[in-house]
Structure 1
């Protein structure tokens, strides 16, 4: 899966081409790039910018499209009208979805698009875009609508769509109404709204991270509403993970693909209605392994647990390779025999879950902890490995669920396995939505 970023170079690697490539990699897609301008900036100050010759911009685009199948294209910094016209001439007839991210100014104060280029930006690039992603300040500049309210945001989105953009996202971070930030998506004629808490610190690279994540999510086939939400959540977490590398503003920190997928699945798991009913007394962990793991250090899990909080789950602890022992040990044994099964979660034992799993066509296996030798029981951390190996030793196909009914002083348990966290989550949703009559 290949995606292309057409943007400027940022030597701090917080934004621009460098930031886009990091985001693409974290989503498991291959990032290609065309450089439109070279900037000189750091986390404190903007020094200089020089555009790449239009002929070279054209040549770069042509060289990529002649050799690679590209699933989606992101256009970021375009400094002058000559660059805009060069991009338009090469892309005007393509059918690849274009994500257009208006970038007019740098976080560190530099001008990234000349004012004389705005007319051509609106004439040539907006009509080509599958979706455009301005913040409120950029949307104001494009539409000349003063944005002070949600109504103004919607009116601006409609006006941008009338300029030719198929879909419009306006990010509301600069709209100071309350402690919550609202982003809107105008998809066709329908509005979608997304809310999140305002952060108390600034950072460099958030806008580029969002549009690059959106580009990757569209490339892998998500519909626009889901792609927007995934990109939004990814960006929020990247901003929360911001690190102070230089002397100025913090830079968004991109997690690897395993951490990103696992974090997203844990968030969704915690919000399943009444999921607390299925969290055992020892609490829950959710893990995801690298390919062909050789030890627990290759498996990411929570250092803490997912704990019961009312009717939902709450994460206590951070994600870390080697963070889990018990559930990670189960996944390690499963992945050794069935390499495609790399994720797992533990749930409270419930006969109704086992029955529902079988009814839904899931493969179920079990082991009896009473049959474990005393010698093995006395070896620290060996029980789970023994149990999973015992349960799958005669199987030719990986089970979706392995359970045991406990032992003296040991809680009965279910472990749901899958190819990735999303797969585990889907299976978990199938079996935990139990009605009283089930």
Structure 2
């Protein structure tokens, strides 16, 4: 499985292309990259930025898209209107889901989208986005309104969706309070995701989330499950943040669970088989997997939900979790007992 990040280079490796590649690797997929700008920054200060030429951006995109089967694309920092036009020209006709992460400013104070490029960002990139993932400040800029309440979240999401993005996720971390609430607008339905606020003042949280969401979408997860899983991965990465420089901390993406990685890939490949919906029974389908000689159901990984038939396709409902399956896991457990390795 391959996913692509189109973004700027961050030499501190906290965010940008380098941060995305770390997340892709941690989640067990092959990360591809197209660089739109070079930044000079560290954990304390933003120094400089230089644009990559639109010709080079188009050349990078063509080289990747002509060679690799890309399962999802994340678009982050684009910096200039020429870069935006170059990205749009290469992506406007593709069928690959695009996760658009609006990057306007860096944590260390740098301007990452030129002022004269904002209208181009809205006009050209939002209409090609499967989902856009602004934080509250970015959503306020896009929707031209203040966001203070759940009603404001929903109103802003609708306004941003009308600009062309199919789905909108507004992240509430910049608001005050013990709880953080994110709001997803998927087509015309709202979903909310809340968690306790953690003490994190660092670099790379937003990029980690959108990169993890890109991976989950590539794996075929239902969007609200993909958001929840990306949120959980990001929270764990924030909790593992490390202070490697003299300034703010950098998120620490954890190692992957190889069993989860293998099962996730298997489910994605199964769901992509042409006509597979014809073989899904009325009780739907689940996959489970474990290491050698599992002792109980909690040693066996499975879907919390099912692989379900939706018309002439299938959808993966729920996240992978140990102990989630009882019926199918019991069969695996019994086989393992009779035929131990």
Same fold (TM over 0.5): yes
Aligned match of 2:291:
343
Aligned match of 1:109:
109
Task: State the TM-score, normalized to the length of structure 2.
Answer: 0.80
Task: State the TM-score, normalized to the length of structure 1.
Answer: 0.63
Aligned match of 1:218:
217
Measure how far apart 1:259 and its partner are. 8.1
Distance change (3 Å), C-alpha of 1:259 and 1:135: farther
Q: Structure 1 residue 118 and structure 2 residue 118: aligned? A: yes
1:426 to 324, 328, 332: 324
Contact 1:135–1:174, Cα closer than 8 Å, also in 2: yes
Distance change (3 Å), C-alpha of 1:131 and 1:341: closer
Contact 2:200–2:239, Cα closer than 8 Å, also in 1: no
User: Could you list the per-position Cα deviations for residues 101-125 of structure 1 after superposition, in whole angstroms to 9, with x for gaps in the alignment?
Assistant: 0000000000000111000000000
Gapped runs of 5+ residues in structure 2? 262-287, 304-319, 331-341
Contact 1:142–1:160, Cα closer than 8 Å, also in 2: yes
Measure how far apart 1:427 and its partner are. 3.3
Aligned match of 2:51:
51
Aligned match of 1:288:
none
User: Could you list the per-position Cα deviations for residues 331-378 of structure 1 after superposition, in whole angstroms to 9, with x for gaps in the alignment?
Assistant: xxxxxxxxx96538xxxxxxxxxxxxxxxxxxxxxxxxxxxxxxxxxx
For residues 214 and 40 of structure 2, the distance between their equivalents in structure 1, rounded to whole angstroms, comes to 26
Measure how far apart 1:57 and its partner are. 0.3
Measure how far apart 1:229 and its partner are. 0.4
Contact 2:297–2:329, Cα closer than 8 Å, also in 1: no
User: Could you list the per-position Cα deviations for residues 157-181 of structure 1 after superposition, in whole angstroms to 9, with x for gaps in the alignment?
Assistant: 00000001000000001122x2101
Higher relative contact order (CA 8 A, sep 6+): 2
Distance change (3 Å), C-alpha of 1:66 and 1:194: same
Contact 2:300–2:329, Cα closer than 8 Å, also in 1: no
Aligned match of 1:136:
136
RMSD: 2.2
Contact 1:167–1:188, Cα closer than 8 Å, also in 2: yes
Matches within 5 A, 1:327-406: 342-343=290-291, 402=295
Distance change (3 Å), C-alpha of 1:261 and 1:252: farther
Measure how far apart 1:199 and its partner are. 2.0
Contact 1:2–1:32, Cα closer than 8 Å, also in 2: yes
Measure how far apart 1:146 and its partner are. 1.0
Contact 1:343–1:420, Cα closer than 8 Å, also in 2: no
Counterpart secondary structure, 2:243: coil
For residues 131 and 22 of structure 1, the distance between their equivalents in structure 2, rounded to whole angstroms, comes to 22
Larger radius of gyration: 1
Gapped runs of 5+ residues in structure 1? 263-339, 345-387, 389-400, 403-413, 433-438
Contact 1:234–1:260, Cα closer than 8 Å, also in 2: no
Aligned match of 1:41:
41
